[in-house]
């Protein structure tokens, strides 16, 4: 008998969930395989891959820089700089805005950096994310 793995794979793709469940049950009985152990092993491997991806993402840190702005939103941006850096006066905040690029925040995870980027773009700033080395 000739075995064609591509043909078998194509046939299996067309199974319904109920047919797949019946097939798994039959194979587990015929091959004496504990499905719960097999599923737990598969789940564990999947979690390990996800953990590895999360660890890699955690290692990457980003800096958010303000690189330009909508001139009509200058006062909003000056206030935002003042809020971000409370030790600055309004005049110093204005001077910072007029001498771009301005480092807004560093050492951020990608998700945090993207949120900060979105916040500043909502108030008229154009930002860039820079991956830290």
pLDDT score for 50: 62
Q: Is the pTM of the predicted complex or chain greater than 0.75?
A: no
Residue 87, classified by CB atoms within 10 Å of its CB into exposed (0-12), middle (13-18) or buried (19+), is exposed
| DSSP class per residue in 61-102 | -EEEEEEEE-GGGHHHHHHHHHHHSTTS-HHHHHHHHTS--E
Give the residue-averaged pLDDT of 3-10. 78
Each residue's pLDDT tens digit, 94-110: 999 999 999 999 998 88
Each residue's pLDDT tens digit, 22-52: 877 787 788 777 767 656 665 665 566 666 6
The highest-level CATH class for domain 60-131 is alpha beta
Share of the chain above pLDDT 90, in %: 47
Give me the residue spans of the domains in the chain. 5-58, 60-131
């Amino acid at each position: 008998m000739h075995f064609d793995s591509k043909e078998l794979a194509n046939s299996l793709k067309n199974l319904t969930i109920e047919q797949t469940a019946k097939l798994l049950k039959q194979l587990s009985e015929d091959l004496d395989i504990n499905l719960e152990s097999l599923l737990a092993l598969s789940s564990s491997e999947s979690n390990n891959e996800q953990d590895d991806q999360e660890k890699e993402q955690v290692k990457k840190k980003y800096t958010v820089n303000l690189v330009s702005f909508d001139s009509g939103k200058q006062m909003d941006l000056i206030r935002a700089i003042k809020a971000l850096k409370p030790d600055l006066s309004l005049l110093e905040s204005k001077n910072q805005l007029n001498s771009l690029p301005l480092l807004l925040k560093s050492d951020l995870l990608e998700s945090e950096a993207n949120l900060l980027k979105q916040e500043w773009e909502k108030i008229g700033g154009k930002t860039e994310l820079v991956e830290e080395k």
